[in-house]
Structure 1
Amino acid sequence: MPSNCFIHLVVALSTVHVIHGYVHGVRYTVTNNASGSAGGSIFDSRVGAPYTKQAMSRATRFIWKTFRQQNDDTQRKHVTNIDFFLDFMEDGIAYSSDNDIHLSASYLGTATSAPPRVLVASEIYHEMTHVWQWNGGGKAPSGLIEGIADFVRKKAGYESPSGPIRLGEGDKWDQGYGVTAGFLGYCDGLKRGFVGKLNKKMRVGYSETYFQDLLGKDVDGLWSDYKAKYQS
């Protein structure tokens, strides 16, 4: 009898594990293409596919909430499958292509700035943002696209591999990554939910006038105010 109970428990847990690969119709898969390498071994022993799927699931829900899409699937991209790959990469840390996310095994094998699970989750939040965000029909500045992804990463509590965002730094508002993320954080502070509203506007096109529409001031004026606030 105890043996049968154990079998039933294993089956139940296995079923739950499979369900955790899905969120609102989105299926997640994880593939380690670098098994045997230092990074591949670290991934298997200290991160694992189940954790990675959970991180992808949490990131999806967090991004929907940030973009104010959690209760309105008509505003989201139609994505049914997102695949994560740990790969051999000659350079770079991570990138997304359509609905695929690729992470460098050599980065995971050598980075020491945070525990492996934190390193993986940080890149998942950034790259998953690219999967879900709108890009103005390809017209939005690449620096803004990357800045939104880093804004989401920071909002989720993770840091970029290049280090914490230094508020007020940078030469132009759409410089990208941490520079633009810091500026977007300032704008979001002026009007709660600004980044989500900006993303919504970028569904079909892009214009710098979106900043004026949402905040009542042109983007260059906002950038000047931001720089003055932090005296950089």
Structure 2
Amino acid sequence: MKQPHVATVASLLALAAAATTAAAVTFDATNSASNTPGGQRFDQAVGLDYAKRVLSDASTFIWNTFNQPSPDDRKPVDKVTLVVEDIDGVAFTSANGIHLSAKYVGGYSGDVKKEVTGVLYHEVTHVWQWNGQGRANGGLIEGIADYVQLKAGYAPGSWVLPGQGRRWDQGYDVTARFLDYCDSLKPGFVAQLNAKMKDGYTDDFFAQILGKSVQQLWQDYKAA
């Protein structure tokens, strides 16, 4: 009779540890554009409470994707914020702050809640990913963020199909599809690549992990 009890206690301890880890980071969202059509649509279709939950869920998903079970493995971030603003574009991330365009939300035709969720998964990735001490190219950085969005199930139908694109580091959906291919060759590849990018960057990381140059991998991917 003691065995189930021990298992239950162990489960509770594991849950408590997970809760403590998540509680170490706080998530906040504000809407400074509530007086605009886009800001009002955000309030009605998305809402701040849901947005904060997405910031938290996305962070947990990213830690799992990057194989970072311990806070010691991650960037030292204790707060992630979102501000909905009356700005152009879609969204951008500066340090640990995400800025979402109310104009984009207002002009989007389709399931805006799902679209915003996907955008937030992309932007939260920028908060947590390593950038090679500034030496990794922008296409790879954006590709990793789109890769997370893809694996989370929020890739829009407008994305390129697997195998499309001109260069492996073209960025966004093109690079995300390529990274997905690389990860299929060795599950956990993206986690290993991100870990290596903590201290610097070289294209040779691909060969170090997969045994082939990034250009050869791109050729294999296109052929496949």
Q: Same fold (TM over 0.5)?
A: yes
The alignment's C-alpha RMSD in Å is 1.5
Query: Where does residue 196 of structure 1 map in the other structure?
Result: 191
For 1:41-80, list aligned pairs within 5 A. 41-69=40-68, 71-80=69-78
Unaligned runs of 5+ in 2: 1-18
TM-score by length of 1: 0.85
Of residues 152, 171, 185, the one that matches 2:180 is: 185
2:100 paired residue number: 103
Helix, strand or coil at the partner of 1:173: coil
Determine the C-alpha separation between the residues in 2 that align with 1:182 and 1:46: 29
Per the normalisation by structure 2, the TM-score is 0.88
Which secondary structure does the structure 1 equivalent of 2:153 belong to?
coil
State the Cα deviation string for residues 125-151 of structure 1 (Å, max 9, x = none): 000000000000000010000000000
Q: 3-state DSSP class of the match of 1:23? A: helix
> Where in structure 2 are the equivalents of 1:79-90 lying within 5 Å?
79-89=77-87
Choose the corresponding residue for 2:143, options 144, 147, 150: 147
Aligned residues: 205
Instruction: Note the 1:122-141 alignment, pairs <5 A.
Output: 122-141=118-137
Offset of 1:72 from its aligned partner?
A: 2.2
Q: Distance in 2 between matches of 1:169 and 1:68?
A: 28
Please report how far the alpha carbon of residue 99 of structure 1 lies from its aligned counterpart in structure 2 after TM superposition: 0.4
Paired with 1:181 and 1:188, the residues of 2 have a C-alpha distance of 10
Cα displacement (A) at 1:113: 2.9
Partner of 2:11: none
Letter in 1 for 2:170: Q
Deviations 1:181-210 (A, max 9, x none): 010000000000100110000000001111
Alpha-carbon distance in 1 for matches of 2:176, 2:162: 9
Relative to structure 1, is the Cα distance of residues 130 and 156 closer, same or farther in structure 2, using a 3 angstrom cutoff? same
Give the CA deviation at 1:159.
1.9
Match of 2:5 in 1: none
Q: Percent identity?
A: 49
Q: Which 4+ residue blocks in structure 1 deviate beyond 2 angstroms?
A: none
1:46 counterpart letter in structure 2: A
